[in-house]
């Protein structure tokens, strides 16, 4: 297949780019804002006319969660309007789409791992725009998948792992919230699942929704402590409550994802989060 990847300079896009040479049966074109402005219908139409693609993997998003609260137009432009442009272009050009979404579409008021069919109720503007992005894919694209993931990190880009490493190496103590529960997800593992199953994902009839994260459960405190322990950094990680570390955007207090559906339908094993964290930290 001939595959277009948008948002290729981000965490997941960079992981896909690094893995692509191993999937020699496919050809890839990687774009970011410099190559393709997905907020422009004209730019998208021109780009799609110049090359015939079978599949789009859309990794582009406004992911600065707190900035979304103050830069709402920019967040909506990238997380909703650009996604609408891509979904329509895919339908017009007989392309399938793989679109990446987030656990922030849930409010976190659950007590069991979230299934794809569970009620969505985002409490942040980031979550609102990402849910609307899902809705425009469902409305305008003919076939493909939406993958909700959580707590994404990578050796590429900016993320929680790199932030903790930076501050832990500079300070004797870090305070990290312990009452938000989810699962860290290594972007490399998500990229592998996508590329291993790209033919299946392309040929799904209509729009299908999947959850994906690494295996296991963690708090942000557990995550941070594991980072400094693996790296052997002499820094105390102190647990605090969310109320003691206020941020502009609300975070789900519980966003563990049920992955039964993706395990049943796709072929890739899902690693335990601590094992994947060690792999990533060995690259840093």
Q: Which residues pair with 100 in a beta bridge?
A: 147
pLDDT at residue 268 in the model: 80
pLDDT tens sequence across 91-105: 999 999 999 999 999
pLDDT at 177: 98
270: left (phi over 0), alpha (psi -120 to 50) or beta: beta
Question: Which residues, 6 or more positions from 46, have their beta carbon under 8 angstroms from its beta carbon?
Answer: none
At 122 the pLDDT is 98
Burial 141-151 (b: 16+ CB within 10 A, else e): bebbbbbbbbb
The two tokens of residue 149 are 């993931």
Catalytically active residues are 126
DSSP class of residue 171 equals -
Q: Which fold has domain 2-159+183-216+254-271?
A: Rossmann fold (3.40.50)
Please give the Cα distance from 219 to 178 (Å, whole number): 5
* Residue ranges of the chain whose pLDDT lies below 70: none
The ranges assigned to domains in the chain are 2-159+183-216+254-271
pLDDT score at 267: 78
């Amino acid at each position: 297949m001939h595959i277009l990847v948008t948002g290729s300079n981000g965490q997941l896009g960079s992981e896909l780019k690094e893995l692509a040479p191993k999937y020699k049966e496919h050809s890839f074109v990687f774009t970011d804002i410099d190559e393709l402005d997905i907020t422009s219908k004209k730019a998208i139409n021109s780009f799609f006319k110049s090359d015939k693609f079978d599949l789009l993997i859309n990794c582009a998003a406004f992911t600065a969660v707190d900035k979304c609260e103050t830069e709402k137009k920019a967040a909506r432009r990238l997380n909703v309007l650009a996604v609408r442009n891509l979904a329509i272009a895919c339908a017009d050009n007989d392309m399938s789409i793989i679109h990446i979404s987030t656990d922030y579409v849930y409010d976190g008021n659950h007590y069991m791992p979230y299934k794809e069919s569970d009620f969505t109720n985002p409490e942040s503007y980031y979550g609102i725009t990402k849910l609307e992005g899902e809705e425009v894919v469902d409305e305008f694209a003919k076939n493909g998948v939406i993958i909700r993931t959580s707590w994404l990190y990578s050796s590429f880009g900016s993320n929680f792992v790199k932030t903790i490493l930076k501050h832990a190496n500079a300070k004797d103590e870090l305070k990290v919230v312990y009452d938000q529960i989810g699962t860290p997800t290594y972007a490399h593992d998500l990229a592998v699942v996508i590329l291993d199953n790209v033919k299946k994902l392309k040929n799904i009839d209509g729009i299908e929704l999947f959850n994906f994260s690494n295996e296991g459960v963690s708090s942000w405190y557990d995550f941070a402590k594991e980072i400094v322990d693996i790296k052997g950094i002499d820094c105390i990680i102190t647990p605090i409550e969310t109320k003691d570390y206020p941020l502009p955007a609300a975070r789900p207090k519980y966003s563990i994802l049920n992955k039964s559906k993706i395990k049943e339908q796709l072929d890739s094993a899902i690693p335990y989060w601590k094992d994947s964290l060690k792999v990533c930290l060995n690259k840093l």
